[in-house]
Amino acid sequence: MRLPILSITFAILALAPALRPAMAEAGGDWVSYRDAYRAMVVFEKYGGAKSLLQQHLQVLPRVPGVDAVGLQLVVLGKTSQGRFPLDATLRTLFPLARAAYDDNAELQLSRPVGPFTVRPQISIALRPDNSYDSEDLRQGCEQALGYARHLALFGARRCAGVRFVFAKGGPAAPVTLHGGTGTPLAAVPGVPFAGDRDAGFPVVTYRFAGAERVQLDTATMPLAITPLFN
């Protein structure tokens, strides 16, 4: 019995690298669509309040400094294919497609950037008029906190504010606060999301102050509005 077992072991080890060129010929690195689907559909099936939230799939390249311009997420399956543009934070709306799930499709990028992973990313929904009521932002933050508690036993306890993340090269003070002090809020360089590597995005942090209700206007549409927890 020992010889056949050894033969099978060597056969397995020989097969392992033999499977890799097939992957490389498909056009670069990849992640499993099915794994991404199963991570992303958690939010879709979440029954709590989420009307002010949105979910994206974010690409996390292993090597920092990837240029997002023109980069697309590509779904490659036997019967399902599609291309989805990534924004400057390397996020895109994720297509929840049963066909791609059943295909056990690959997710690739439109040009090689090396190994990458993906993760769901929750943010507060953007408004087309670039005008935000602080109460809506507070509610959006509370909804995000509720979802975070749904996913983790220990974690954030309360909402402290929100962060407006803008594209690079915009105005120095991209958020104006109406009511209260009425002053423009300056941006400082920061990462769009916790765990990101590029800390060069203009970020304006607005902290909730008691029951005061104010209006916040943005000079341009933010890339994202993220909740800030304590």
CB of 87 to another protein, least distance (A): 23
3-state SS, residue 107:
strand
* Helix/strand/coil (H/E/C) assignment for every residue in 40-78: HHHHHCCCCCCCCEEEEEEEEECCCCCCCCCCEEEEECC
Contacts of 175 (CB under 8 A, 6+ apart): 164, 184, 185, 187, 204, 206, 216, 217, 218, 219
CB of 152 to another protein, least distance (A): 6
Shortest Cβ distance from residue 124 to another protein (Å)? 21
Among 79, 81, 111, 117, binds another protein (CB under 8 A): 117
> With binding defined as CB under 8 A, does residue 49 bind another protein?
no
Q: How far is the CB of 14 from another protein (least distance, A)?
A: 10
Measure the CA–CA gap between 46 and 96, rounded to whole angstroms. 15
Give how many residues touch another protein by CB under 8 A: 40
Find the binding residues for another protein in span 50-79 (CB under 8 A): 62
Neighbours of 72 (CB within 10 A): 14
Q: State yes or no: residue 5 binds another protein (CB under 8 A).
A: yes
Tokens describing residue 142:
């509370």
For another protein, which residue of 37, 132, 193, 206 counts as binding (CB under 8 A)?
Answer: 37
Least distance between another protein and beta carbon 222 (Å):
27
Instruction: Please list the residues that pair with 119 across neighbouring strands.
Output: 58
Our CB check for another protein shows the closer of 25 and 67 to be 25
Q: Which pair of tokens denotes residue 105?
A: 């499709």
How far apart are the C-alpha atoms of 164 and 218, rounded to whole Å?
A: 9
Residues 126-185 that bind another protein (CB under 8 A): 150-154
- Nearer CB in complex with another protein: 119/127: 119
Complex with another protein: residue 15 or 69, whichever CB lies closer: 15
- If the CB atoms of residues 63 and 221 are measured against another protein, the closer one turns out to be 63
Residue 105 in contact with another protein, rule: CB under 8 A: yes
Task: Give the list of residues 6+ apart from residue 118 with CB closer than 8 angstroms, or none.
Answer: 31, 36, 39, 57, 58, 59, 60, 107
Q: Tell me the window of 22-30, 65-73, 81-89, 161-169 that interacts with another protein (CB under 8 A).
A: 22-30
d(CA 47, CA 150): 10
Provide the binding-site residues for another protein, judged by CB under 8 A: 1-2, 5, 8-9, 12-13, 15-16, 19-20, 22-23, 29-30, 32-34, 37-39, 41-42, 45, 62, 96, 98, 101-102, 104-106, 115-117, 150-154
